[in-house]
Amino acid sequence: MEILCKANSRIEKQIVDALKEFKKVWKEGSGERLFEEMCFCLLTPQSSAKQAMKAIDLLKKNNLLEKGRAEQKESFVKNVRFYITKAKRLEEAQKKFPKEKIKQILKKNGLPNEPIKCRNFLLKEVNGYGMKEASHFLRNIGFFEEVAILDRHILKNLVKCGIIEKVPGNLGVKNYLKIEEKMKDFCKKQGIDFAELDLIFWSNETGSVMK
C-alpha cells in the first residue's frame, strides 16, 4: 500500500509543478483558458486525456473552440468517442459559458470559496458533466483541495489500498460523495495530501503526470 500511495522524487516534483499550474489557471488565466478546460473535460469521458487534448488543439488551430456549429467541430473531434454528441455539447457550452463571461458565472456560483457549491452548479448546468467531469474541471482550474476525480483507474487503486472493497458498478452522486469522503479520511490517516493522491495513482500506472 505504501508504494501505491507514494510517488518517487521525480514524479513528486512533477505533481507539485502540475498543482501549481492548475492554480495559475484561475488566478492568472483568461476566460479563454477556463473555457478550454471546460471543453477538455467534456471530451474526456470514455476517451484518454491525450486524445481529448489533441481534439482541443485541433479546434483551437481551426478557430472553432469558442465558436462555430457542432457540425463544423465534428471533423476535429473524431478521435474521441461519441464525437457527434460531444460536438453538440461543445456548442451548447460556448453559448452558456462564453469566454468573456465564464469567470463571472463561476464566481456567482461558488468560486473561489465554495468549490462544492460550484460543482453542484456545474453538474446541473453543463450538459455532459457528471460528478467526475465537474470535479475534473475544478481540479484543472486550481480547486483540488475538496474534490476527487473518481475515474476507473482511481477506483481500482482505491480498492488496492483497501479504501473501498470493490469498484462500484453504479457511481451515482451519493456513492460518489461517500467514496470521496473515504478517500479524504484515508489521506488524513496516512498523512497524504488529498490533492496529490489521484496524480500519484495515475503516475504509478503511466509513469507520467497528466491533467
pTM exceeding 0.95: no
Q: Give the residue-averaged pLDDT of 72-82.
A: 97
Mean pLDDT of the chain: 91
In a domain, 78, yes or no: yes
Q: Are 47 and 85 in contact (CB under 8 A)?
A: no
Q: What is the pLDDT of residues 164-211, one digit of tens each?
A: 999 998 899 999 999 999 999 999 988 888 988 888 887 776 666 766
- Based on the domain organization, do 109 and 153 belong to the same domain? no
Which of 121, 140, 159 finishes a domain?
140
Q: Given phi > 0 = left and psi -120 to 50 = alpha, else beta, which region is 142?
A: left
In a domain, 3, yes or no: no
- Based on the domain organization, do 131 and 152 belong to the same domain? no
* Grid cell of 145 as nine digits: 483541495
In a domain, 18, yes or no: yes
Which of 140, 169, 190 finishes a domain?
140
pLDDT band at 8 (very low <50, low <70, confident <90, very high): low
Q: Is the pLDDT of residue 132 over 70?
A: yes
Q: Is the pLDDT of residue 127 over 50?
A: yes
| CA–CA gap between residue 197 and residue 169 (Å, rounded) | 22
- Based on the domain organization, do 33 and 136 belong to the same domain? yes
- Based on the domain organization, do 78 and 173 belong to the same domain? no
Dihedral sign of CA atoms 107, 112, 114, 118 in order: positive
Q: Give the residue-averaged pLDDT of 148-164.
A: 90
- Based on the domain organization, do 194 and 133 belong to the same domain? no
- CATH, residue 109: 1.10.340.30
End-to-end CA distance of the chain: 24
- Based on the domain organization, do 46 and 18 belong to the same domain? no
Cell numbers 457527434 correspond to what residue?
Answer: 84
Q: Give the residue-averaged pLDDT of 87-115.
A: 97
Q: How many domains does the chain have?
A: 2
Collapsed DSSP state (helix, strand, coil) of residue 145:
coil
Write down the pLDDT at residue 98.
Answer: 97
- Based on the domain organization, do 125 and 39 belong to the same domain? yes
- Based on the domain organization, do 61 and 130 belong to the same domain? yes
Which of 89, 108, 140 finishes a domain?
140
Catalytic residues: 132, 151
- Based on the domain organization, do 157 and 129 belong to the same domain? no
Range of the domain at 179: 9-22+148-206
